[in-house]
Structure 1
Amino acid sequence: MSELNSIDIYAVHFPPYSIFENETVDGQDVETVSAAFEAVGIEVVYRTLPWNRAYNLAVQGKIPALLSCLSNKEREEFFWISDPISYADESFISFSNVVPKSEFTLKNIRDYKIGVINGYAQSERLKELGFMLDYSNNEMQTLMKLRDGRVDIVYNNTTAIQYLIREWSERQQLWAVTVERTSYHLCLSRDYPNAEYFFHKFTEGFDLIRGNGIYAQILGNFGAN
Structure 2
Amino acid sequence: MPTPRLVRAVLFSLSLSMPVMAGAETVRLANGEWAPYMSQTLRHAGVMSHIVEEAFARQGIQVEYSFSPWKRAYEDARHGRADGTLIWGRTDEREAEFLLSDPVIELNTVLFYATDQGFDWSDTASLSDKTLGGVIGYSYGVDAEERAGLLKIERIAVPEGNYAKLLQGRIDAVLEDLDVGLDSIAKLGLGDKITYHPKPILERPYFLLMNRINPANPAYLEAFNKGLKALRADGSYRRMLDASRAGEYRQ
Q: Which TM-score band applies after superposition, normalised by the shorter structure? A: 0.7 to 0.9
- Structure 2 vs 1, CA of residues 125 and 66 (structure 1 numbering), >3 Å: closer, same or farther? farther
2:59 corresponds to which residue? 40
Q: Distance in 2 between matches of 1:146 and 1:192?
A: 42
The percent of aligned pairs where both chains have the same amino acid is: 22
Q: Distance in 1 between matches of 2:158 and 2:218?
A: 29
Secondary structure class of the residue paired with 1:37: helix
Q: Which runs of 5+ in 2 are unaligned?
A: 1-21, 247-251
2:121 corresponds to which residue? 105
Q: Which runs of 5+ in 1 are unaligned?
A: none
More strand by share: 1
2:29 corresponds to which residue? 9
TM-score normalised by length of structure 2: 0.78
Query: Residues 138-186 of structure 1, C-alpha deviation per residue, up to 9 Å, x if partnerless?
Result: 3223233223333221112121011012133421232223222122111
Secondary structure class of the residue paired with 2:191: helix
Displacement of 1:192: 3.2
Displacement of 1:112: 1.8
TM-score normalised by length of structure 1: 0.86
Of structures 1 and 2, the larger Rg is shown by 2
Amino acid of the structure 1 residue aligned with 2:108: D
1:76 corresponds to which residue? 95
Q: Distance in 1 between matches of 2:64 and 2:163?
A: 29
Aligned 8 A contact 2:106 2:206 in 1:
yes
2:206 aligned with 1:160, yes or no? Answer: no
User: 5 Å matches for 1:109-128?
Assistant: 109-122=127-140, 124-128=143-147
Query: Residues 170-221 of structure 1, C-alpha deviation per residue, up to 9 Å, x if partnerless?
Result: 2123222322212211111112352222211211211222222222222232
Displacement of 1:3: 6.3
Amino acid of the structure 1 residue aligned with 2:232: R
- Structure 2 vs 1, CA of residues 25 and 212 (structure 1 numbering), >3 Å: closer, same or farther? closer
Aligned 8 A contact 2:29 2:77 in 1:
no
2:114 aligned with 1:95, yes or no? Answer: yes
Displacement of 1:129: 4.3
**Which stretch shows the higher mean deviation, 64-73 or 29-38?**
64-73
Query: Residues 89-147 of structure 1, C-alpha deviation per residue, up to 9 Å, x if partnerless?
Result: 111211123x322xx32454222211111122226344124212211123223233223
Amino acid of the structure 2 residue aligned with 1:41: G
Aligned length: 219
Q: Distance in 2 between matches of 1:11 and 1:118?
A: 15
Secondary structure class of the residue paired with 2:108: strand
Amino acid of the structure 2 residue aligned with 1:204: K
- Structure 2 vs 1, CA of residues 3 and 140 (structure 1 numbering), >3 Å: closer, same or farther? farther
2:170 aligned with 1:150, yes or no? Answer: yes
Q: Distance in 2 between matches of 1:133 and 1:120?
A: 11
Displacement of 1:26: 2.5
1:63 corresponds to which residue? 82
- Structure 2 vs 1, CA of residues 125 and 20 (structure 1 numbering), >3 Å: closer, same or farther? farther
Runs of 4+ in 1 over 3 A off after TM superposition: none
